[in-house]
Copies of this chain bind each other. A is one copy, B any other.
Amino acid sequence: MPRIPAAERRAALIDAGLRLIARDGLAQATTRAIVAEAGMSLASFHYAFESRDAFLDELIAVVVANEQQAVLPALDVGPDGGGADGGDGDGGDHDLRAILEDGLLRYLDHLASDPEHEQAMLELTQYALRSPERHPLAVAQYRRYAELAEQALATAAERAGAAWREPVAEAAGVLVAFTDGITLTWLVHRDDAAARAAARAAADALSRMADPA
């Protein structure tokens, strides 16, 4: 009812759109459903956005930009965690392994606390993957993931006093891939124990891509 400038309306619509996609899926995110979720009239949608496609393009861009605070602190904060039992042969990078596993477990907590958000991100990726003109959006999304992973891995190595053997970007790519896979299988099975086992294996593999200082 109150008058709202177009810029704010865009933000409110994107917010409602993401909420709707997370709850009901991308296919249910029609223009009418979006404005209903935002409590607006249908005309406001096309006053703020040229088309539904343009709306989704901007939604992806905005959501990807906001992904930072959701994942980065998951791997960033906290001193040494308790860590699982050991028994590994190599010494040295034990700390890095524990830090990485701790970060991945923290990500699993984040995933469990808001599974629909990750499911929505996955759905948006697949949407962008279709049609060549939208493919760059998916690439940008995963480049952002890689950036965040890179920061987290750099921080982890620094804290453990280790050094990545190859460029951090390579390990970051591996981390993104593993995280994605763990997310997808957890969304299917909701099996926390299996996800933790995969996280453990992922931390193990990643830690071996670095040398102790």
Interface membership of A89, Cβ < 8 A: yes
Whether A187 and B25, one on each chain, are in contact in the complex, defined by CB atoms closer than 8 angstroms, is: no
> How long is the Cα–Cα vector from A209 to B197 in the complex, in angstroms?
10
Which residue of the partner chain, among B90, B119, B139, B185, contacts A180 with CB atoms under 8 Å? B185
Residues 184-210 (chain A) with a chain B CB within 8 angstroms = 184-185, 187-189, 191, 194-195, 197-198, 201-202, 204-206, 208-209
Question: Which residues in B have their C-beta under 8 angstroms from that of A198?
Answer: 173-174, 177-178
Whether A181 and B177, one on each chain, are in contact in the complex, defined by CB atoms closer than 8 angstroms, is: yes
- Give the interface size bracket for A toward B: 35 or more
Q: When A180-B181, A205-B204 are in contact, do A173 and B194 touch as well, CB less than 8 Å?
A: yes
Whether B123 and A126, one on each chain, are in contact in the complex, defined by CB atoms closer than 8 angstroms, is: yes
Whether A129 and B180, one on each chain, are in contact in the complex, defined by CB atoms closer than 8 angstroms, is: no
Whether B125 and A188, one on each chain, are in contact in the complex, defined by CB atoms closer than 8 angstroms, is: yes
Which residue on B lies nearest to A173, using beta carbons? B194
Question: Which residues in B have their C-beta under 8 angstroms from that of A72?
Answer: none
Interface membership of A38, Cβ < 8 A: no
Which residue on B lies nearest to A179, using beta carbons? B181
Question: Which residues in B have their C-beta under 8 angstroms from that of A122?
Answer: 126
Whether B188 and A142, one on each chain, are in contact in the complex, defined by CB atoms closer than 8 angstroms, is: yes
> How long is the Cα–Cα vector from A129 to B142 in the complex, in angstroms?
22
Whether A184 and B181, one on each chain, are in contact in the complex, defined by CB atoms closer than 8 angstroms, is: yes
Question: Which residues in B have their C-beta under 8 angstroms from that of A194?
Answer: 170, 173-174, 177
The 9 sampled A-B contact pairs (Cβ below 8 Å) are A89-B89, A89-B90, A90-B90, A119-B129, A125-B188, A166-B197, A178-B181, A178-B201, A181-B183
